[in-house]
Amino acid sequence: MQVKVSLDLWMAGVAAYRQAEEAGCVFIFSHPLYKQLYILFSISKIPKYPAIASINQTATMGSSIPAQLPAMATSPKHIFFTDFDGTITSRDSNDYMTDNLGFGQPTRLALNRQVLANEITFRSAFKQMLDSVSTPFDQCTNILLERIELDPGFRAFYDWAKANNVPIVILSGGMTPIIRALLDKLLGEDSSWMQIVSNDVGARPGKSINEEKGWEIVFHDETGFGHDKSSTIRPYAALPADQRPTMFYAGDGVSDLSAAKETDLLFAKKGHDLVTYCVKQHVPFYEFEDWTTILAQVQSIVSGAKSVKQVSDEGVEAFTAALKA
């Protein structure tokens, strides 16, 4: 059978394939041709082109990993889960919007204090923050692209992780379109190998997201966090001992509270709310200022030079010593 596929049609198939990846599906193809066949199969699902459906059987020659555990696709021994805003980036894009386009920093910080005191949920506080921003969504994105930069050292960590089969899974309270736009600019389109699990954005009733007061956050789940990051981590933790990878997490703020106790080693950013929470709740952590610290410690564990417990103990000792100094 010969099928002539135009560039526009091919790109439609590629888009469908990328949507599946962004939804958490991971495909392992034993030959590059099978990926092309899968894209053609995606095209066959477009109602206008049912004639290509006959390649269905060929396209499924690749194997897939359950969507719940996509980071296990390459059978890694280590996985790095991380927050995005203020952790991978030098400043928080949502804080920036709230402070400069919304009701301002004092109100935002007051809401954060209420969350830490368990007076309100993070979901409630975060919605209030973003609801205060009336700027059209496309304008918000463009502003952030001009002002948000990578945290120093992340590029080196990113390159090392990619080369050493350490999947990076982004667990964010932010919105996927903004995260993807920033990653594409800051790291290039090859950053799509990193899985993103986050909230989304939607249009308000009768509005377009690209008009004044036209958009609102769409939360990932119904929990008080809006996005309970622990729900992504726990299935990995539940794997049998001979399959379970060593898991790391890096974060900085109140959106990371649900994930703080879930991994083997927690990195908390110096001077931020996650450190305050960990001290209050007696959660062990390793304090970091930028990703050069994280890279050095993770490399020492992956190489076998240190154990997770050694690094964790060193982190607690260093933080305690700094308090006494």
- Alpha-helix runs per DSSP H in 202-305: 230-237, 273-281, 291-302
- For residues 102 and 219, membership in a common domain is answered with yes
> Is residue 73 one of the residues assigned to a domain?
no
- For residues 41 and 147, membership in a common domain is answered with no
- The residue from 8, 85, 200, 252 that is catalytic is 85
- For residues 183 and 316, membership in a common domain is answered with yes
The pTM assigned to this predicted structure is 0.78
> Is residue 71 one of the residues assigned to a domain?
no
> Is residue 61 one of the residues assigned to a domain?
yes
Could you tell me the sign of the dihedral formed by the alpha carbons of 301, 305, 310, 311, in that order? negative
> Is residue 2 one of the residues assigned to a domain?
no
Query: pLDDT tens, 63-94?
Result: 344 557 999 999 999 999 999 999 999 999 99
Please count the structural domains in the chain.
2
State how far the Cα of 36 lies from the Cα of 13, in Å rounded to an integer: 9
Could you tell me the sign of the dihedral formed by the alpha carbons of 287, 235, 116, 251, in that order? positive
Query: Among 65, 94, 110, where does a domain finish?
Result: 65
- The residue from 83, 95, 99, 273 that is catalytic is 83
Q: How much helix, strand and coil, in percent to the nearest 5, is found in the chain? A: 50, 15, 35
- For residues 32 and 144, membership in a common domain is answered with no
Residue 37's domain spans which residues? 7-65
- For residues 54 and 83, membership in a common domain is answered with no
* Higher per-residue pLDDT: 22 or 249: 249
Query: pLDDT tens, 146-176?
Result: 999 999 899 999 999 999 999 999 999 999 9
- For residues 55 and 116, membership in a common domain is answered with no
- For residues 123 and 225, membership in a common domain is answered with yes
Query: Among 65, 92, 114, where does a domain finish?
Result: 65
Q: Is 85 an active-site residue?
A: yes
